Amino acid sequence: MKQFLAAVIVIVSGLCAKPACALWNCSDAELFSHSFGYTQNSYIISWRCNQVYPNSVKIEVIKTAYGGWKKNTNLASETIKDSYRRWDKNGSPTGEWENSENLSASCQEDPWLSELPCLPPQSSSRTILAKTVRAYLQQQYAIQNTAPEILEPHDGRVFDYPVDLPVKIRHHPDYNVRFKIEWREDATQAWTSVTNSIIYGKQTSDGVTTAKMRPMKIGKWVLRAQLDTSTDPWWSDPCTFTVNEGAPKVEFLSPKPDQVFYDNSTITFHLDTESGKPWSSSDAQGGRGSRVVLMEMWFKPLPKEGGIQPFPIKVVETYVPADFFESAPANSYSEGVWNLVAKYPASLSEGETQQATAQVTFKVIKPLLGEPPVPPNKPLAIKPPLVLQKMATVPLAKQNLKPQTTKLTVTAQHGALKTAPTIIGPAENQRFSKTGTIPINAKVSAADASLIWEIEYQAFGATSFLRQKPSLAGGPATGAGMVKTARLTFSAPGTYRFRVREDDAKALWSGWRTVIVGSPPAVAPAAKTMHLSKPEPVTDAVKSLPQEQPTKPLPQTGQKKIQPGIMKPPTAPITVPRH
């Protein structure tokens, strides 16, 4: 009996390899599963064979092959397990047993995908695969390995720092993409791998992924993309681009040009700057480089009626931080025309050749009606904004402006300052259709850093921002790595801006990031006006004048106030908004 079983095992194990196998009736091989990996492709294939002997004895075998091909050694290995069952002539089962064998061969290509021969040329599951099954495997492998196509940015482009590059990738719609980013300062340096966190705002639709990329350094960059699969897919063609040092920029966000402030209002100073290059360690330690603005304030009294146009007077010349933001009450200003001049950077360090300049003019006016007459021959008292009085420094002519020998003193002393966090998302001026909680991502200097947020709100149609409660940050930021996520609550339609710093006495604020929530209401009809032929006592209509009123450029002649809080009654009609 044992000899008979041994003979059966020998015949079945060589299934379809010898003429004796013609007695066996076998089904087609079925592909049960397959996987394409980084180092190995794996397959499970099964088929069934049976044989009926003249004495009506029946034997059936189920053969299952577990095969794989290792890419680093080109070795194809396979374990074939045989499960036997036997029935007598009456159809009653008479026994079950199993057998297995291990096969291996050297193959230059995956033999389940390719028909190239292997050594030795053994009979196995790979040799009996139907052409349709092999074609299916080849198609699946090609899909998972097809390289994406980078549509944007275009190869060879040159950008000025800072820049948010558009990224657009075309790829197979069944898979997402992942990126490989490298940077070097110039052709003499080796390529350095860069984290994918500089790519943000990814969106995918119908096989096209769009995103934004924010290079953090000046130099040469290379971007590649591949499908996010378990295989080792091919990379796209490299996209190479250059980021050069850009021109510095400075802009007054507040006050607005020719804005008018009344006695009971507040004036806010807000500067927006772009350095055109990443901040260096010397900038962070207080050098007069990319982080400091030279601020000049000029004052010109309102001219006397029919008198000589007064000359402007320089009141303050000082240094302020690049992201300067302060407020002061209007009653701390002398009445007249004020002009602010900002120069950025404050001085040109070695290698710097460009300096940006911005200026803005605004007017301070005391109450227009019901004031006592002007005292005769009283000297003019000029009061600059208190926030700039506190920051005024020694005249520039007496200072050494070389960054390497001079240390700047501003309102707050930071010592060795930490690098400011980088807000990754949402994008600048990104719109959200409705109010609610929005996730904010920021890159920090250490994985254990905690964050402090400042949030300001401006209603649609308003001219200034209002500071919001810190509780809107919605709890501590989360994230185990260098990118933290906070959830800020924007509860009303309008414009929000926020900035962030690490919770450390030596931490710096990031730049402001602005988002728009909801849509502005329908435009109201234009306000009607009424004209008064002569001055009258103060009325409720005058008291309810808005805090900030736009005005036309300052005329060369007209009514003038000399002493703060005192003004002759105007002779021209006054236009007052009707509420």
Q: What is the DSSP string of 49-70?
A: EEEE-TTS-EEEEEEEEEEEEE
pLDDT band at 388 (very low <50, low <70, confident <90, very high): low
**Section 363-378 average pLDDT:** 54
User: For 83-113, what is each residue's pLDDT tens digit?
Assistant: 999 999 888 999 999 999 999 999 999 999 9
The pLDDT of residue 480:
66
Alpha-carbon distance of 499 to 418, in angstroms, equals 15
**Residue that wins the pLDDT comparison between 12 and 109:** 109
**pLDDT over 80 at 186, yes or no:** yes
User: For 164-180, what is each residue's pLDDT tens digit?
Assistant: 999 999 999 999 999 99
Residue type, 146: T
Percentage, residues of the chain above pLDDT 70: 71
The pLDDT of residue 99:
94
Tell me how crowded residue 554 is: count the other CB atoms within 10 A of its CB. 14
Task: Annotate 12-49 with DSSP letters as a single string.
Answer: HHTTTTSGGGGG-EEPPPEEEEEEE-SSEEEEEEEEEE
**pLDDT over 70 at 51, yes or no:** yes
Same domain (yes/no): 7, 96: yes
Is 353 a member of any domain?
no
Residue burial 221-241, b: 16+ Cβ < 10 Å; e: rest: bbbbbbbebebebeebeebeb
Is 36 a member of any domain?
yes
**Section 508-527 average pLDDT:** 75
Given CA atoms 340, 342, 346, 347 in this order, what sign does their dihedral have?
negative
pLDDT band at 4 (very low <50, low <70, confident <90, very high): very low
Same domain (yes/no): 136, 159: no
Q: How far are the Cα atoms of 105, 119, 259, 318, 434 from residue 253, in angstroms, in the given order?
A: 73, 75, 12, 19, 25
Same domain (yes/no): 13, 132: yes
Is 332 a member of any domain?
no
Is 345 a member of any domain?
no
Same domain (yes/no): 234, 153: yes
Same domain (yes/no): 119, 209: no
The pLDDT of residue 346:
79
β-sheet with 483-490: strand ranges across: 422-425, 436-443, 483-490
pLDDT band at 209 (very low <50, low <70, confident <90, very high): very high
**Residue that wins the pLDDT comparison between 234 and 303:** 234
Tell me how far apart the 2 most distant CA atoms of the chain are, in Å.
139
Most confident of 52-61, 118-127, 171-180: 171-180
Backbone angles phi and psi of 125, in degrees to 5: -60, -30
Same domain (yes/no): 87, 181: no
Contact 326, 369 (CB under 8 A): no
Least confident among 155-169, 278-292, 549-563: 549-563
The pLDDT of residue 475:
53
Most confident of 2-16, 60-74, 416-430: 60-74
**Section 37-55 average pLDDT:** 89
What letter would DSSP give residue 200?
Answer: E
pLDDT band at 463 (very low <50, low <70, confident <90, very high): confident
Alpha-carbon distance of 496 to 514, in angstroms, equals 6
Instruction: Residue 127: give the domain boundaries.
Output: 2-145
**Residue that wins the pLDDT comparison between 68 and 568:** 68
H-run or E-run covering 208 = strand 208-213
Same domain (yes/no): 59, 189: no
Same domain (yes/no): 99, 229: no
pLDDT band at 61 (very low <50, low <70, confident <90, very high): very high
Structure tokens at 210: 């769009």
Same domain (yes/no): 122, 62: yes
Residue type, 42: S
**Section 549-554 average pLDDT:** 40
**pLDDT over 70 at 559, yes or no:** no
Nearest to 169 by CA among 146, 138, 141, 142: 146
Is 120 a member of any domain?
yes
**Section 485-503 average pLDDT:** 85
- Alpha carbon dihedral 373, 376, 378, 383, in 10-degree steps, equals 30
Is there a cis peptide before residue 385, judged by omega within 30 degrees of 0?
no
Region label for 436, one of left (φ > 0), alpha (ψ between -120 and 50) or beta (otherwise): left
Is 567 a member of any domain?
no
| Domain-terminating residue out of 207, 228, 244 | 244
pLDDT band at 368 (very low <50, low <70, confident <90, very high): low
What letter would DSSP give residue 350?
Answer: T
| Domain-terminating residue out of 517, 547, 574 | 517
Contact 334, 381 (CB under 8 A): yes
Residue burial 523-552, b: 16+ Cβ < 10 Å; e: rest: eeeeeeeeeeeeeeeeeeebeebeebeeee
**pLDDT over 50 at 347, yes or no:** yes
Region label for 56, one of left (φ > 0), alpha (ψ between -120 and 50) or beta (otherwise): left
Please provide the average confidence, as pLDDT, over all residues in the chain: 75
Q: How far are the Cα atoms of 108, 145, 148, 178, 230 from residue 141, in angstroms, in the given order?
A: 17, 6, 15, 18, 11
**pLDDT over 70 at 243, yes or no:** yes
Q: Which CATH number characterizes residue 445's domain? A: 2.60.40.10
Same domain (yes/no): 187, 94: no
The pLDDT of residue 499:
86
Give the end-to-end CA distance of the chain in Å, rounded to a whole number. 112
The pLDDT of residue 395:
39
pLDDT band at 276 (very low <50, low <70, confident <90, very high): confident
**Residue that wins the pLDDT comparison between 296 and 231:** 296
pLDDT band at 240 (very low <50, low <70, confident <90, very high): very high
Alpha-carbon distance of 48 to 15, in angstroms, equals 11
What domain count does the chain have?
Answer: 3
**pLDDT over 80 at 341, yes or no:** yes
Same domain (yes/no): 20, 136: yes
Alpha-carbon distance of 53 to 189, in angstroms, equals 77
| Domain-terminating residue out of 145, 171, 193 | 145
Structure tokens at 448: 């254990």
**pLDDT over 50 at 409, yes or no:** no
Beta strands 513-517 and 494-502 are antiparallel
Is 484 a member of any domain?
yes
The pLDDT of residue 472:
52
Alpha-carbon distance of 86 to 58, in angstroms, equals 6
Is 461 a member of any domain?
yes
**Residue that wins the pLDDT comparison between 432 and 222:** 222
Structure tokens at 326: 């302060």
Structure tokens at 465: 């921002």
pTM here? 0.47
The pLDDT of residue 523:
56
**Nearest 5 degrees, angle CA 423-CA 425-CA 430?**
120
Same domain (yes/no): 72, 118: yes
